[in-house]
Amino acid sequence: MFGSSTAVTTEAPVRLKAADGGSPLAAPITVTDSIAMWIEELSRLEGTSKKECIDSIGALEDLKAAAAAAQARFAADYDSRQRHDQSALGMPKKEQGKGIAGEIALARRVSPNQGNQHLGFSKALVNEMPHTLKALTAGKVSEWRATLLVKETACLTVEDRAEVDHQLASDQNYLQGLSDRRLTAEARKASYQLDPQSVVRRAAKATNERTVTGRPAPDAMAYVTALLPASQGVAVLAALTRAANGPRAEGDQRGRGQFMADTFVERITGQSQADATAVDVQLVMTDRTLLAGDGEPAFLPGYGVIPAQVGRDLARQGTAAAEAWIRRLYTAPVSGQLVGMDSRSRLFPKGLSRFIATRDQICGTPWCDAPIRHTDHVVPWSAGGQTNESNGRGLCEACNYAKEAPGWTVQAAPDPPDTGPVRDSRYTTKTSTPTGHVYWFTAPSLPGATPAKA
C-alpha cells in the first residue's frame, strides 16, 4: 500500500516490558534489561584506529546475525508455549496458534504479514535446519541469507530439507563465502537432485503469489505493479502494445508508452476515457486549498499526500459525485479530524465506512500498512458498541480475522501516550495482546491539521 508517507504515524511507542511494568528495585536482571545494557554500551563504542573501524563493522555484522538467531529461538519458543496454553484452555487443535504471528509482528514492529513470515522462518530454522541456525548464531550467515535457505527448501520434505541444511551449512566457512546468488543456486541444485518434483511444486506455489500492488512515484505519479505467471504477463503487454499500434498508425500524437498507459486505465476502470476521477477517487483538502489558493497539500486516499495545485486540478476535472464527496469530508480546522457522522444500524453504512477509511487511510493494526477492507466495531456491537465514527476503525482483511484470537483487546483511546509522535486529538486505538503488551495506532494527520509541537 502507499504507506511510506504515513508510516511515521503508525510508529506508536512500544513498551519493552509488560504493561504492569513492575518496579526495577531489587528485581533480578531480565533478558530485556541486559539487552538494553548492550545497546547502551554499543552507543559508546569508538574505533581507535582505521583497522579497528573495519574490524568493528565486521563484528557488528556477526552481532546482527546472532541477534536474528536469538529472535528466531524466542519466536519458536513463544509459539510452542502459547500453543501449549491454548490447548490447555481447550482450544480446538486447528485454531491453536491463532494470534501468535500477530504478536510477533507487533514486537518486531512490522506488518502481520511479515510477522507470519518471521514465525515460519523461525520454526523452520529451529525445528528443521539446525546447521543454518548454528551458522546464524555464530554470525557466519546473515538473516537474509538464512531466509534464502529457508525459502529455497520450503517445498522439500523435512528429511530432504535437513539434507540440504547439512550439505550447505554444516561447513560454516564454506557457507560464509557464498554470495546471495550463489547460495540460492547451490540450494536449488541440491534440492533438485534430492527431489526433481520440487521444481513443479515451486512453480505452482509461485503462481499462488500472483498479485497487484501499488506505490507512490515522484511528482504525484504512482506505480501499479502486477506479479503474474510469465505467459499472462507477456499477454498483457502484447495486448497493450497492439492497442497502441492502430491509433498511432492513424496519426494519434501520443507516444507508445502514453497510449499504453491510457489504454491500461481505460480497460481496468471500465471508462471510455482515461479519466480516473469518474471512478470512486476521493480527495481530502481544506476549503482554503480548494477555494482560496492556499498551499496546504491535499490528501488522496489510497495514495497519500499530493501538492495543493494537483488537488485543485483533480477537483476541477471531477464529476458532480466527486465534488459532493469533497464537501462532505471537510476537515476540522484545529485537529485535522474529519467531521463525524453517526448511524443507528449494526452495519456501518457506506458513507460512514468511507469516512472512516478516509480518516484511517491504512489498516488500524500498527505497522500493517495494508489497504482497508472492513470497518470494524472497536467495542463489538454485541457488547453494546455503537456504530459511529469513534467506535469504528478500518482494518485489512487479515487483521479483521486475526483480532478474534483470545487475549486480545482493543479500545478507542482518548489519551494516547505523550511520548509518541502524536500530540493532538487524532483518532487513536490501544491494542493489548495476551502477554499484556500494549501498542498504539493513531490515524495519520489530514489536511487542515495544526502541525504537532516538537
Closest CA to 334 of 450, 451, 452: 450
- CA atoms of 25 and 400, how far apart (whole Å): 40
Which residue stretch of 167-175, 260-268, 337-345, 365-373 sits at the interface with Zn ion (rule: CB under 5 A)? 365-373
Contact call for residues 299 and 283 (beta carbons, < 8 A): yes
Q: Smallest distance, Å, CB 376 to Zn ion?
A: 10
CA 125 vs CA 67, 75, 120, 121, 233: distances in Å: 14, 11, 9, 6, 34
Burial class (CB in 10 A: 0-12, 13-18, 19+), 414: exposed
User: Does residue number 396 form part of the binding site for Zn ion (CB under 5 A)?
Assistant: yes
User: Does residue number 175 form part of the binding site for Zn ion (CB under 5 A)?
Assistant: no
- CA atoms of 274 and 169, how far apart (whole Å): 54
Indicate the residue among 312 and 393 with the shorter CB distance to Zn ion.
393
Q: Quick one: cell of 319?
A: 464529476
Q: Which of residues 122, 142, 361, 365 is near Zn ion by CB under 5 A? A: 365
Indicate the residue among 155 and 399 with the shorter CB distance to Zn ion.
399
Query: CA Rg, the chain, in Å?
Result: 26
User: Does residue number 284 form part of the binding site for Zn ion (CB under 5 A)?
Assistant: no
Closest CA to 202 of 194, 192, 190: 192
The DSSP result for 292-324, as a single string, is: S-----EEETTTEEE-HHHHHHHHHHS-HHHHH
User: Does residue number 370 form part of the binding site for Zn ion (CB under 5 A)?
Assistant: yes
Which residue stretch of 96-104, 182-190, 367-375, 438-446 sits at the interface with Zn ion (rule: CB under 5 A)? 367-375
Size of the site for Zn ion (CB under 5 A): 6
Q: Smallest distance, Å, CB 238 to Zn ion?
A: 36
User: Does residue number 410 form part of the binding site for Zn ion (CB under 5 A)?
Assistant: no
Q: Smallest distance, Å, CB 120 to Zn ion?
A: 18
Q: Smallest distance, Å, CB 193 to Zn ion?
A: 40
Q: Smallest distance, Å, CB 370 to Zn ion?
A: 4
Q: Smallest distance, Å, CB 365 to Zn ion?
A: 4
Q: Which of residues 135, 285, 399, 422 is near Zn ion by CB under 5 A? A: 399
Indicate the residue among 150 and 368 with the shorter CB distance to Zn ion.
368
Footprint of Zn ion on this chain (CB under 5 A)? 363, 365, 368, 370, 396, 399
